[in-house]
Amino acid sequence: MNLKEKILAVKLYCGGNSLAQICDTLAGYFPERPDFAPSSLNAVIERFENSGSVEPLCTCARKRKRAEAAAAPEASVRKLVVLAQIEEDPSTSTSTIERETGIYHSTVARDLKQMGYKSFKKHHAQKLKPENYFPCMEFCEGMLERIWADRDFLRNICFTDECSFGLTGGSNRQNDRI
């Protein structure tokens, strides 16, 4: 069955039709196709009820899904466990929760996202002090004036990837761990 036929079969089933009625209706919609077997329609409907999709899972996904279903607690209970871990310590990582509960860290991250939590990503930035504001503004205004005066001004500047400032507080990417 193609995708269009599967979707129509599920719609007809949700409309309260029996498998025999669905077979007859599909035969009317698609007369050039051989008759639909009730067993294949039943498999499509079961797949839709179990996974929310009419498309079959790949073999590796099926095995993983079975293993997760056997090892992981019920979804609502799992989400409560994850939520309890986060409420206990909001700075807990998904891999720590995985070690403590046995729930895959990707599942933990997905559950947290569904519950409205967002992951924290540290951004490195230069620490600017209030006295740095006016020199920065003067530099920007001066650059804008030069650009307006000479449209090719930026082509004469060589930009490098090296930074020329230090971060106060002794933090750097090599010794920073979160």
| 103 three-class SS | coil
- Cβ atoms of 3 and 54 closer than 8 Å: yes
* pLDDT for residue 70: 58
Lowest-confidence pick of 22-26, 46-50, 138-142? 46-50
Phi and psi at 92, nearest 5°, equal -65, 135
State pLDDT tens for residues 141-160. Answer: 999 999 999 988 888 887 66
* pLDDT for residue 177: 45
* pLDDT for residue 140: 92
State pLDDT tens for residues 74-115. Answer: 777 888 888 888 888 888 888 888 888 888 888 888 888 888
Q: What is the percent of the chain with per-residue pLDDT over 70, rounded to a whole number?
A: 74
Tell me the C-alpha distance between 123 and 125, whole Å. Answer: 6
- pLDDT greater at residue 6 or residue 62: 6
* pLDDT for residue 172: 57
* pLDDT for residue 61: 60
Element (H, E) at 135: helix 133-149
Question: Whose CA is closest to 115, among 158, 81, 73, 144?
Answer: 81
Tell me the C-alpha distance between 67 and 61, whole Å. Answer: 10
Q: What is the pTM of this model?
A: 0.33
Tell me the C-alpha distance between 42 and 5, whole Å. Answer: 13
